[in-house]
Chain A
Amino acid sequence: MATTSLLDTSSASTSVLNRSRTVAGPGYNRWLVPPAALAIHLAIGQAYAFSVFNKPLGSLISGDPNHPAPADWTAGQIGWTFSIAIVLLGLSAAVFGKWLERVGPRKAMMAASLCFGGGFLIGSLGVHLHSLALLYFGYGFVGGIGLGIGYISPVSTLIKWFPDRKGVATGMAIMGFGGGAMIGSPLAVALMNHFQGSAPQGVAPTFIAMGIIYLLFMQFGVWTIRVPADNWAPEGYVPSTEHSALITTGNVSADNAIKTPQFWLLWVVLLTNVTAGIGVLETASPLIQETFSDKFMGTGRGVTAAAAAGFVGLLSLFNLLGRFFWSSASDKLGRKVAYAIYFGLGILLYALIPTLGHNLQLTLYVVVACVIISMYGGGFATAPAYLSDLFGKYQVGAIHGRLLTAWSTAGVLGPLIVHNLHESAVEKGLTGAAAYQNVFYTMAGLLAVGLLADLLVRPVAERFYEKGPVTIEAGSH
């Protein structure tokens, strides 16, 4: 009798989670796949809103966010939770990519939901016991693995369902990751207010509630996702011959992909795009308050903390919109041209920001920052389609997982560059826009490196192609 274990990885298993049980029958509407993917990405995108817990977590003992007790966790200690989660995102995406290709999206989504929801539950125990190690292990380590598996779980499936609109499809899903913070932040605030009386700052029960809510919400994706049957193609679909030089007809395995210069050029492309973007996102609130403070704008006319929070919200919104808009546009423009725009236009806009700050042109400053962040989001969302163009559909999810190590690297590099350059400027006595001038010029330089890497991308040599027919769905010969 065949095994019926839910998480059995055997391809012969009858588990309802296995790839073989998720092949779509006739009549399945492919437009059900993007909402399934969105259910995963909207949930795990909550990670970007982790900072909403910073103050409550930093005052669990004192009970007063403005007057923490000596035994309370510091902002730096709490910040590591998010950093661990992002590093684990990249690592687990790289490690579990090939497993995902083998077992299919449903099992991967289930694993992601268990890790992400479970991470919250373990984290709640850490908060309850005031154990930082348990918080790091729960939300950071276990939850981070959920982030990585969840992030890549729908990508290759979407590309297979939408060969005619790869950018639109992956853009819709990855847009969800940007939107997750917009849901996660007000949800956390509402829950903490609700549980305020029952636990210190209401954090531990909020973690439990969010763990359960996200676990259930992600189940929609788990049970809705389907993979297309072998050789399925949309009705009337004819592979495009436009931009064909960079759209391969072959298939490259994940192990071979990392031996190609194209993979590492794209790694640099993602690294530079994300490093520059994180630099702005990370510092957005102090940046706008210091650049447009009362000192420069006149008493009572400077940007307040509340207005700065609005600026951060606006950037999140454009991060989300950019993921869909730019990725969809790349279907028409071609991926290489799309990235050339992100970098070329990005260099100009990053270099322009300090001048706008010096001249106190607030509205234009906000508009330019929003365009910059939209292209940061676009860079994330266009990556899977670019990989599919270059390496084929065979193991694109696994290749994407390995590419995401660039994100983990950027997550450390971006804030490091910004903090060092800003601190050095402040030590020299610079204030306002001048204190951030070198940050933006450095980021423009980084984007120039990214542009160069993008321009160097050429079609993958045929010697890296898989020999003979490959089974796309099984990810094996």
Chain B
Amino acid sequence: MTQQPNSSTPVSDEPATGGSVVLAWLFVGIPLLWGVSQTFIKALALFK
């Protein structure tokens, strides 16, 4: 029979390095910055 982990039993995680945190933020940050830059360019029309 398989032993069930309870709700508070930590699963084995590799300790996250600073690099993986940076990569994670880049994964969401790059599309977000792209979207913000597109919006900003469009917004410039208001001040022309």
In the complex formed, the residue of B with least CB distance to A309 is: B42
In the complex formed, the residue of A with least CB distance to B8 is: A230
Task: Give A366 to B43 CA distance when docked, in angstroms.
Answer: 11
Task: Give A186 to B42 CA distance when docked, in angstroms.
Answer: 11
Q: When A32-B20, A186-B38 are in contact, do A307 and B9 touch as well, CB less than 8 Å?
A: no
Which one of A22, A25, A230 lies within 8 Å of B12 (CB-CB)?
A: A25
Residues of B within 8 A of A35 (CB): 24-25, 27-29
Sample of 4 further A-B pairs with CB below 8 A, known A25-B11, A229-B8: A20-B7, A24-B10, A35-B27, A179-B36
5 closest Cβ pairs, A-B complex: A27-B15, A182-B35, A25-B13, A230-B8, A29-B16
Instruction: Say yes or no: A38 contacts B7, CB within 8 Å.
Output: no
Instruction: Say yes or no: B4 contacts A38, CB within 8 Å.
Output: no
Q: Does chain B have a CB within 8 A of A465?
A: no
Instruction: Say yes or no: B10 contacts A42, CB within 8 Å.
Output: no
Instruction: Say yes or no: A39 contacts B27, CB within 8 Å.
Output: yes
Chain A, interface size category, equals: 35 or more
Q: When A26-B10, A310-B46 are in contact, do A317 and B4 touch as well, CB less than 8 Å?
A: no
Q: When A1-B2, A32-B20, A229-B8 are in contact, do A313 and B15 touch as well, CB less than 8 Å?
A: no
Residues of B within 8 A of A26 (CB): 10, 13, 15
Considering only residues 204-221 of chain A, those with a C-beta below 8 Å from chain B are 217, 220
Summarize A's interface: helix, strand, loop or mixed: helix
Residues of A within 8 A of B7 (CB): 11, 19-20, 23, 230, 471, 473-474
A-B contact count (CB 8 A): 133
Task: Give A320 to B40 CA distance when docked, in angstroms.
Answer: 13
Instruction: Say yes or no: B4 contacts A12, CB within 8 Å.
Output: yes
Q: When A2-B4, A24-B13, A28-B15 are in contact, do A313 and B21 touch as well, CB less than 8 Å?
A: no
In the complex formed, the residue of B with least CB distance to A27 is: B15
Residues of B within 8 A of A313 (CB): 39-40, 42-43
Residues of A within 8 A of B24 (CB): 32, 35-36, 220, 224
Which one of B11, B45, B48 lies within 8 Å of A23 (CB-CB)?
A: B11
Task: Give A56 to B34 CA distance when docked, in angstroms.
Answer: 24
Least Cβ distance of B32 to chain A in Å?
A: 5
Q: Does chain B have a CB within 8 A of A31?
A: yes
Q: Does chain B have a CB within 8 A of A183?
A: yes
Which one of A39, A303, A310, A320 lies within 8 Å of B28 (CB-CB)?
A: A39
Residues of B within 8 A of A20 (CB): 4-7, 9
Q: Does chain B have a CB within 8 A of A58?
A: no
Residues of A within 8 A of B9 (CB): 20, 23, 229
Q: When A20-B5, A24-B10 are in contact, do A310 and B42 touch as well, CB less than 8 Å?
A: yes
Residues of A within 8 A of B35 (CB): 179, 181-186
Q: Does chain B have a CB within 8 A of A258?
A: no
Residues of B within 8 A of A38 (CB): 28, 32
Instruction: Say yes or no: A27 contacts B16, CB within 8 Å.
Output: yes
In the complex formed, the residue of B with least CB distance to A475 is: B7
Considering only residues 307-321 of chain A, those with a C-beta below 8 Å from chain B are 307-311, 313-314, 316-317, 320
Residues of A within 8 A of B34 (CB): 183, 186
Task: Give A309 to B46 CA distance when docked, in angstroms.
Answer: 8
Q: Does chain B have a CB within 8 A of A176?
A: yes
Task: Give A360 to B47 CA distance when docked, in angstroms.
Answer: 15
Most B C-beta atoms less than 10 A away, residue of A308, A314, A320: A314
